[in-house]
Every structure is written in structure tokens, then in C-alpha cells.
Amino acid sequence: MSNVPPDRKYAKSHEWLRLESDGTATVGITDYAQNSLGDITFVQLPKVGAVLQAGAPFGVVESVKAASDLYAPVAGAVLAVNAALDGAPEKVNQSPFDDGWMIKLQPANSTGLGALLAADAYSKLIG
């Protein structure tokens, strides 16, 4: 059974988004996604300042099984990337909701959040 924290929103493409108190958003991949990928060996993330479109690819995660695109759950500008993943991509497997976060965004607006799933709906999606 995958861990699905209730304090986040989820994309059907298996990214999570947590709104922070300052209005920014932290993004990563779900426990289900990292488990499906297997041992993660490389993470490619965008540069700080990149402007992302909702649903568009923003990076790549590679594992022993496959390479998968990462999709922006909402539109926004990249404020930070998790540089620790450069030398330790396994953090995504070990802690997908904490140490394995990928990017911090300044969402372009709040309208994109409505398209994301609540924890219970995401749990139903992944069965």
C-alpha cells in the first residue's frame, strides 16, 4: 500500500504538490511512482528561474527499470531545486515526500490547483 499524505495535492501523472505557508509550492513524485520505478539512479531537474507550464515536462527521473518524464502539476516559476539529488538520487526512493522533494515553485495562479486530486481521490486512482 502506497503512502498518500493528506496535506498534498496529486497529479494523475504521479507528482505531488504541497502548498507552503508563504504561497510557494514544493513538488516531488509520489511513493507509488518511486516504487513503480524501482531504484532511482539519476534525476534531471530544471534550472532555477525556469517558467513551467502545467502538465508540461520539467525534468526526468531515471531508474534501473526506465526513464520517466516529470510533469509540472501547476504553472509557475522554479524558485529552487533539490541539489542533494545530484549526488544522492536514492533520496527519492528513501523519502519521496520529504528529503526527496524535487522543486519549489512560485505558482502562476491558484486556478491550476483545482485540477489536482485530493489524497483520497489519488488513493482510488492508484488502487
Q: Per residue in 61-83, pLDDT tens?
A: 999 999 999 999 999 999 999 99
The answer to whether position 78 is within a domain reads yes
CA distance 58 to 38: 20
| Residue 25: its H or E element | strand 25-29
The answer to whether position 1 is within a domain reads no
CA distance 12 to 94: 22
The answer to whether position 11 is within a domain reads no
Mean pLDDT of the chain: 95
pLDDT > 70 in the chain, percent: 99
pLDDT of residue 1: 60
φ, ψ dihedrals at 101, nearest 5°: -55, 160
CA distance 60 to 36: 15
Q: Give the chain's domain count.
A: 1
Is residue 65 left, alpha or beta, with left meaning phi > 0 and alpha meaning psi from -120 to 50? alpha
CATH number for the domain including 105? 2.40.50.100
The answer to whether position 87 is within a domain reads yes
The answer to whether position 26 is within a domain reads yes
In degrees, rounded to 5, the angle at the alpha carbon of residue 54 between the alpha carbons of residues 53 and 60 is 80
Q: What is the domain extent for residue 90?
A: 16-109
Q: pLDDT confidence of 34, banded at 50, 70, 90?
A: very high
Q: pLDDT confidence of 21, banded at 50, 70, 90?
A: very high
pTM score, two decimals? 0.95
Nearest to 3 by CA among 42, 24, 29, 38: 29
